[in-house]
Amino acid sequence: SKILGIATDTGGRTSHAVIMARSSGVPAVVGLRGLSGTLNDGDALLVDGFEGIAIVNPSESTLFRYGKVGLRRKKIKDLLEEEASLPPSTKDGSKVVFLANADSAEEVRKARSHGCEGVGLFRTESIFLRKNKIPSEDDQYEEYRKIVESAEELPVTIRTLDLGGDKILDSIGREKEENPFMGFRAIRYCLRNPDVFLDQLRAILRASTHGNVKVMFPMVSGVGELVRAKECLSTAKRQLRESEISFDSEIQVGCMIETPSAVTICDMLATEVDFFSIGTNDLVQYLLAVDRINNEIAYLYEPHHPAVIRSMKRVFDVASEKKVGVTVCGEIAGDPHFLPILLALGEGSLSAASPMLPELKFFARRFSMTEAVELLKRVLRMTRPSEINQTLKDFYEQRVSDLIS
């Protein structure tokens, strides 16, 4: 609550710290090379998260201009909030399912006030990182119970531990990796540490008695990994039965699609799960071979790349054929410009940071599914990310003139 803004020398716009800031509504600008070297104690710093700039010791005229911008932003926010409680649908009445990403019970309550229909991604590693240690099964159960109860009857998808990459837990004493995003992380860590994994799975299962809970495995790259993870879940269920502890025996199981191999074999993975969740942040970096927090190649991290859009289309097509659910999460899901083509990809849901939900709902009511489908057809014929980016931006601005004029 005491953090007003974040500005860093390094990092990318989909780094863990930026994602956390966005979820909390805190302005953040990253990749400002050499910024820290220009700052002295007592300097004033203006952080503009919308434009991606930071101004050291802004002049009075700059502060006045930003004061006017702030008033306009407040008017826009008020306008969005007015419509946030309306049923989520497109202009022609097609229903849209908006879920929220969350890291705490407070975020879930905030998301519900914005009219979300559940939690599409609860990041369990946030509990581990806050405590800077591996919490006990009972500690985890209490945390998950609070999350599930704060959602009341709404579904909560709990992702198992996704440490690694830029989410490092110092207390477990792991060796430094040359390429942490490609290394010992997420499901790989869990399968190598079954005691940690089973503690977490039992805690999630115990929390399932308090509401509508689903469990999801991250960074799956093959059927073998997924089968092993499900075997661990079966073991956790057996252990709870032996201890006469209740849980939802029919809990739904899903996996994240965030590697090229998972996209390629998603038809095989579909036979093992109830739903997919497309993790767009990692999917973009792995598809394009771009480290998403490396300043030197940040310009190559292009969510609008045709490979990204075509990969998502494949997952939606397979999900429809195999009759499994699909959710899109990551920063693409919270970007209003992407909303029409995500809806046109097929039946599914979007899980975004809570502060983005009012704008997403506002925009959805200003185009029809027919328009969205035609837009997707155009985009799928395009070859350059810049062209796709501009096309989506133009579509957005033409329909929300009452918001941006």
The token pair at 245 is 């502890």
Exposure string of 53-75, with b = 16+ CB inside 10 Å and e = fewer, is ebeeebeeeeeeeeeeeeeeeee
At residue 117, φ and ψ (nearest 5 deg) are -110, 20
- For residue 7, report the phi and psi dihedrals to the nearest 5 degrees: -140, 130
Residues forming a β-bridge with 7: 29
Q: What does 284-349 look like in DSSP terms, one character per residue?
A: HHHHHT--TT-GGGGGG--TT-HHHHHHHHHHHHHHHHHT-EEEEESTTTT-GGGHHHHHHT-S-E
Q: Would you state the torsion angle of the CA atoms of residues 379, 262, 214, 150, taken in this order, to the nearest 10 degrees?
A: -50
Q: Where are the alpha helices (DSSP H) in 213-277?
A: 223-242, 260-264, 266-269
Token pair of 18 as six digits: 């930026």
Report how far residue 1's alpha carbon sits from residue 266's, in angstroms, rounded to the nearest whole number.
41
Would you say 303 and 254 are in contact if contact means Cβ atoms under 8 Å apart? Answer: no
Active site residues: 16, 329
